């Protein structure tokens, strides 16, 4: 089943986010290569494709896991959690309808 994982950043963690980004992306690439990633990306902190110095306020990942518990374990092991970027992480079942 698909699960939507939302991480919301602590304020002023752009430097932490940048430092943890390679490890964060590596995990996403593993999901993608296994055919288990529907989409992933950050929330710009301002209304712009490239937020510049404003950075990002969180992230959304939609990926396939065997069950909610597995998705939660995966989400809590994210490098952004370990680096203190995320102040909150939520995991919810997701049902893709379109496209």
* Domains of the chain, first to last: 2-94 (3.30.70.1060)
pLDDT digits (tens, 9 = 90+) for 40-89: 999 999 999 999 999 999 999 999 999 999 999 999 999 999 999 999 99
Q: What is the mean pLDDT of residues 18-24?
A: 98
Whether the CB-CB separation of 11 and 23 falls below 8 Å is answered with no
E-state strands within the chain: 2-9, 37-44, 56-64, 86-94
Which secondary-structure segment (H or E) carries 49? none
Count H helices, E strands: the chain? 3, 4
């Amino acid at each position: 089943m698909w699960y939507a994982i939302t991480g919301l950043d602590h304020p002023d963690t752009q430097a932490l986010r940048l430092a943890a980004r390679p490890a964060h992306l590596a995990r996403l690439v593993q999901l993608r290569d296994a055919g288990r990633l529907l989409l992933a990306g950050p929330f710009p902190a301002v209304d712009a494709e490239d937020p510049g110095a404003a950075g990002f306020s969180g992230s959304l990942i939609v990926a396939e896991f065997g069950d909610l518990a597995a998705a939660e374990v995966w989400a809590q092991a994210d490098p952004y959690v370990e680096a203190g970027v995320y102040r909150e992480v939520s995991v919810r079942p997701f049902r893709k309808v379109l496209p």
